[in-house]
Amino acid sequence: MTEANSKPEGNLKSGSALERTYASGQFVVTGEIGPPKESSFHHVEMYGQGMKGRVDSVNFTDNQTAVTRLSSWAASVKLVQMGMEPNLQVVCRDRNRLAIQSDLLGAYALGVRNVLCLTGDHQAFGNHPGCKGVYDVDSIQLIGILKRLRDEGCFECGEECKHNPKFFIGCAANPFADPFEFRVVRLEKKIEAGADFVQTQCILDMERFERFMELVRERGLHKRIYLAPGLMPVKSPKMARYMQHGVPGMIVSEEFCQFLEKAPNGKIAALDLTVNYIKHVQQIEGVSGCHIMAVAWEEVVPLILTKAGVLPRPFAAFHDNPGVITDELKALWKKSGVEGYVPELM
């Protein structure tokens, strides 16, 4: 575990593997695990093993869609204990600035180095819709707080923090929300506030993402922040259609839906599509990595990454000895009918 007082080497701000991989100019690959709705690390261990050595770091969502889940900081610490690197997601919905700074002090002391600052889905979406949405600060203000802690060594109120946490600061961007032309302006605001890396909402409409990247390059933002688009293997054509119509902030292209609908095996097609997207985005100027968010399908991440040819990872721990594919994981592959996708992993 890295001591709080240690200085990151060279020009690195946090010294994390994620930062190091970005800084080296190599294509970054991150994964994501949604913590469970129970007091158990079983899933974190199972999926974590699958991603060990195969990704640079792993996101943990923070009460995603306002549903109570095992906290992202606890899951992140568990991952550190497993020898891997977490990306701690923090939303503004559930905690005020006092509690957030407090949690982050603890997280850093326990080895967490990457943090994403997000607004958070409205509490009305979740399982406690009547709870009070806090929103004491917004995501941009939160980025500022982390930057202040890291670079000025003081809290939001200005008071000194002796052993100050030095995070690699991340944020989100959604090229599929409105107003479209303002999205790059908002990204720039986040960069100004101190964001180091950005992960976008998952791409289900490549054309719109490419237009977004045009605007990003126009403003020169790609030179000021590391950008990784989110990529999601969509389990079924029905799910794709649902997201097309039923989820705000998400745009799914007709092409995407039809690819899945016309394929003989929908699940394999979903994996193929993700692999193709990984290869495609590597060609887009300004894209520095990709973020695989296999929501409710975390088990397929090792399959996708092996097929996509992005292994081994340069600086991730265990990159030369990737994690074990447990029997449980293999059983899950069999359930989805994808166990033949990368035969050597079976």
Partner 1 sequence: MIVAEGKPVEKILEMIAPYKKVLIAGCRGCVTVCLTGGEKEVGILASQIRMARSKDGNPIEVLEQTEERQCDAEYNAKFLENVGKVDAIMSLACGIGIQYLGEKYPLTPIYPGVNTLMLGANIDVGKWEERCFACGDCVLDKTGGICPIARCSKSLLNGPCGGSQNGKCEVSAPTKEDVSCGWQLIYDRLVALGQVDKLKEVIPAKNWLRAKGPRTYVREDLTLDRS
Q: Could you give the count of Cα atoms lying within 13 Å of 11 in the half-sphere of its Cβ?
A: 5
Distance CA 260, CA 279 (A): 18
Using CB under 8 A, which of 44, 75, 137, 310 touches partner 1?
137
Handedness of CA 127, 132, 137, 142 (dihedral sign): negative
CB 225 within 8 A of CB 197: yes
Using CB under 8 A, which of 26, 45, 110, 122 touches partner 1?
122
Q: How far is the CB of 200 from partner 1 (least distance, A)?
A: 9
Q: Considering only 46-54, 129-137, 264-272, 304-312, which stretch makes contact with partner 1 by CB under 8 A?
A: 129-137
Residues for the chain: how many in total? 346
Binding string, residues 172-191; x marks residues near partner 1 by CB under 8 A: xxx-xxxx--x--xx-xx--
By CB under 8 A, residue 128 contacts partner 1: no
Distance CA 256, CA 279 (A): 16
Minimum CB distance to partner 1 smaller for 43 or for 93: 93
Using CB under 8 A, which of 12, 36, 74, 135 touches partner 1?
135
Token pair in block for residue 225: 């922040």
Number of residues located near partner 1, criterion CB under 8 A: 40
By CB under 8 A, residue 248 contacts partner 1: yes
By CB under 8 A, residue 127 contacts partner 1: no
Minimum CB distance to partner 1 smaller for 50 or for 144: 144
Q: Report residue 166: phi and psi, to 5°.
A: -120, 90
Q: Considering only 35-43, 131-139, 208-216, 255-263, which stretch makes contact with partner 1 by CB under 8 A?
A: 131-139
Minimum CB distance to partner 1 smaller for 67 or for 105: 67
Minimum CB distance to partner 1 smaller for 179 or for 343: 179
Please give the distance of CA 22 from its chain centroid, rounded to a whole number.
Answer: 14
- 10 Å CB burial of residue 274 (0-12, 13-18, 19+) is buried
By CB under 8 A, residue 253 contacts partner 1: no
Q: How far is the CB of 100 from partner 1 (least distance, A)?
A: 11
- What torsion do the CA atoms of 125, 128, 130, 132 make, to the nearest 10 degrees? -90
Q: How far is the CB of 91 from partner 1 (least distance, A)?
A: 10
Q: How far is the CB of 269 from partner 1 (least distance, A)?
A: 27
Q: How far is the CB of 212 from partner 1 (least distance, A)?
A: 13
- With tokens 């929908």, the residue in question is 266
Minimum CB distance to partner 1 smaller for 34 or for 194: 194
Q: How far is the CB of 109 from partner 1 (least distance, A)?
A: 24
Token pair in block for residue 128: 């406690």
Strand, helix or coil for residue 115: strand
Handedness of CA 276, 183, 17, 49 (dihedral sign): negative
Using CB under 8 A, which of 2, 26, 141, 326 touches partner 1?
141
- For partner 1, the binding residues in 102-121 under the rule CB under 8 A are 119-121
By CB under 8 A, residue 156 contacts partner 1: yes
Cα separations in angstroms, 16 against 22, 172, 190, 267, 280? 10, 19, 21, 34, 27
Distance CA 275, CA 82 (A): 27
Enter the DSSP assignment of 235. S
Q: How far is the CB of 135 from partner 1 (least distance, A)?
A: 5
Minimum CB distance to partner 1 smaller for 26 or for 119: 119
Using CB under 8 A, which of 83, 129, 337, 340 touches partner 1?
129
> How many other C-beta atoms can be found within 10 angstroms of the C-beta atom of residue 179?
8
Enter the DSSP assignment of 124. G
Question: Which residues would be at the binding site for partner 1 (CB under 8 A)?
Answer: 92-93, 97, 119-122, 124-125, 129, 133, 135-141, 144-145, 156, 172-174, 176-179, 182, 185-186, 188-189, 192-193, 201, 246-249
